[in-house]
Homo-oligomer: A and B are copies of this chain.
Amino acid sequence: MDLRSFFCPRSVAIFGAPWATGQAGLGILTSMIRGGYEGAIYPINQDGGEVAGIASYPDLRSIGEIPQLVVIALPVDSVKPVVQKCADLGVKAAVIITSGFTESGSEGSALEGSIVRIARSKGLRIIGPNCIGIMMPHCRLNASFAGEMPEPGGIGYFSESDSILASAVDIARAQRLGFSRLFSIGNKADTDELDFIDALGADSETRVIAGYLETIEDGDAFIQRAEKISRTKPILLIKSGVTKAGAQATSSHTGRMAGTENAYECVFERAGVIRCDSIQRQFDYARAFASQPLPKGPRVAVIANAGGAGIMAVDAIEREGLELAGFSEETQQHLAARLGTGIHIQNPLDLPDDALADRFETALEAMIDDPGVDAILVVLSPHVITECANAAEAVVRAASMKGDKPVLACFLGAQRVQEAVGILRGSHVPEYETPERAIAAIKAMVGYQRWRSRPKRVVKLFPVNKHKVERIINRQLKNRNTQLGEVYSKEILQAYGFLTPKGQLTTSSEQAVNIAEQIGYPIVMKIWSPQIIHKTEIGGVSVGISNRGDLIDAYDLMMYRIPKRFPEADIIGVFIEKMQTEGVEFILGMNRDPLFGPLLMFGMGGKFVDVLEDFAFYPAPITADEAKEMLLSTRTYRLLHDAGGETDRTQTLDIDAISEGLQRLSQLVTEFPQIKEIDINPYIVGSYGSAPIVVDAMMTLETP
């Protein structure tokens, strides 16, 4: 049961009562007539007669066939009986325009729920309610209020905001972007973003999936299914309300909680979804993805008829982290011979101002043939003597020659390049207003291609002591304790294969000295109290104790101070622990996002945690490759890689220990949804051969 019934129905019934005064039904009907829909249109009108010049029917049954699509634009109270009739009759697809459901309060929500139940019991799929309809340009079906239909093409679009859809449609028409299907998804009562992603993913007319979302309903399912579809088609999403202030606005707009910036960032990365922060960017990318093959790598060649714009393209290539392609010996000789003297064969290739069209064509062909070039940008400025339209035609000819490399264009101007831009857009060569925007589109393609060529995901399962963790967690939850301090946290981590420093609990300074002498100085002393989670802040940690006298002093000071500073704490004793003097401090952590579940974190440890802004997040479960990618994506890695002239630490530092730590953490939080937060800080990693150590840790459990 999918959404194909909505794609190109051969007949559409419209409920629009009261037809005489109701704007909604008449609006849809008018859109359909103006759009040139060639299937059968059945306005349903109890009173009979014609509506907008079309014969109406008193009810569904009197039509004589089961309409393939029903559009319902009735007052809210009349919707449910009509849905019931559609369901009973065997209608498979309905769009409900009407508002006044979940978005208006609990009564509307209950009504919406009952409608969905009716529909699902009979295999009727519903889009909406509270939406502005759908458009199917390939079969000229415009059953919407979203304006006039864009051209048919390869972009499938869905929008949770009616106004964004209306704007997007208007902009798409002006830019001659081609669409396969457009959906206003409204309250997502029966069909949500995942249904649309699935449907567009399976749709042969759709090459690119694009959408605007304010909420995501099911984080886990989103990851799984978006990732699956991304393997074959790019998904370009605007997710608004992601920043802090934005989330407030979303929340007052939809009454639902929005996720956080980091969560969306890493989840989209995992699922291969390309995030866009504006319609402009989304359309810029969609234009390229819909018409061009993916580049095999990041090496871009630029052909320009003018220094200025060419240099700006090169600046953008560098800013985006792409590479300027070098030309092969063969290309250089070929171009030198064909282009004539006075033209330096280099990248960017500066053609003379006059930009004779055949020169553009020669240059472009040579670059398409050069194996050192992955993508090509043609930049043209309209000099008085520039043959803009001829150049555009030459670009179109050359670009369609082979079709195994993306060719993008920027004809920098307005009226003077209008004809040329028309030629390019009409022939599916993506054209951009500025070189910067074209380069950004290439960057998006390169990133997507890289994602697609990832190795297969294999999540490793380590042998662990799951029962022990179960026992600890259950006991704590029974005691209504959700804050686990160092001792319990370390026990849990030990059960999952993490190592902790040698150490022991004690309640007297004499015993402390005995323990210290057993494990050897220097040692660290830490207060142990179930109430004290952040030990350092209240003086509950003493580091670098190197002899007996200092140890006794430190013990006495702690026993004097802590009860004064934190009178409500039950002090069980102090923990005497071997101090780790070698290795690099990292932080490993987990935070359970309300939408996407456990997100693993990696970063530099110690006091730099809060400043470096150098975390990497990734949703669990994680693979070994992904864990290493997390590490590689941080500046911290560069620190290790090139630590101010010293040896390259990445050669000696046990990077695999970090990856393994993240994978074990991933397994722990996947197997124990009761754990809400984990901080392992510091996680000390030395060189290969030495074991990584959890020096301190804390966890928070979900309130049962």
Contact = CB atoms under 8 A, between A and B. Distances in A.
A383 interface: yes
A260 interface: no
B166 A413 contact: yes
Most chain B CB atoms below 10 A, which of A277, A383, A636, A645: A383
Interface string A434-461: 1111000000000000000000000000
A242 interface: yes
A571 interface: no
A416 B437 CA distance: 24
Given A436-B280, A644-B609, A307 B161 contact: yes
Given A241-B315, A307-B253, A309-B167, A279 B644 contact: no
Nearest to A537: B645
Tell me the number of copies of this protein.
2
A384 interface: yes
B436 A277 contact: yes
Given A307-B253, A308-B240, A278 B163 contact: no
A178 interface: no
A415 interface: yes
B163 A305 contact: yes
Interface string A230-262: 000000001011111110111011100000000
A307 B214 CA distance: 10
B161 A306 contact: yes
A543 interface: no
Interface string A298-335: 00000001111111101111110000100000000000
A173 interface: yes
Interface string A145-180: 101000000000001111110110011011100000
A56 to B, nearest CB: 22
Contacts of A381: 163-164, 166-167
A613 interface: yes
A353 B162 contact: yes
A144 to B, nearest CB: 9
A220 interface: no
A686 interface: no
Contacts of A382: 147, 166-167, 170
A394 interface: no
A475 interface: no
Contacts of A470: none
Given A170-B417, A534-B645, 15 more contacts: A23-B385, A161-B307, A163-B306, A163-B383, A164-B308, A166-B416, A243-B318, A249-B314, A278-B435, A536-B645, A607-B639, A609-B644, A611-B638, A611-B639, A613-B635
25 contacts: A160-B308, A163-B412, A166-B381, A166-B413, A167-B412, A167-B413, A170-B415, A170-B417, A171-B413, A173-B414, A174-B414, A242-B315, A243-B314, A245-B317, A245-B318, A246-B311, A246-B315, A249-B311, A278-B435, A607-B644, A608-B639, A610-B638, A610-B644, A611-B635, A613-B635
Which 7 pairs of residues, A with B, have the shortest CB-CB distance?
Answer: A161-B308, A163-B306, A174-B414, A163-B381, A611-B639, A170-B413, A164-B308
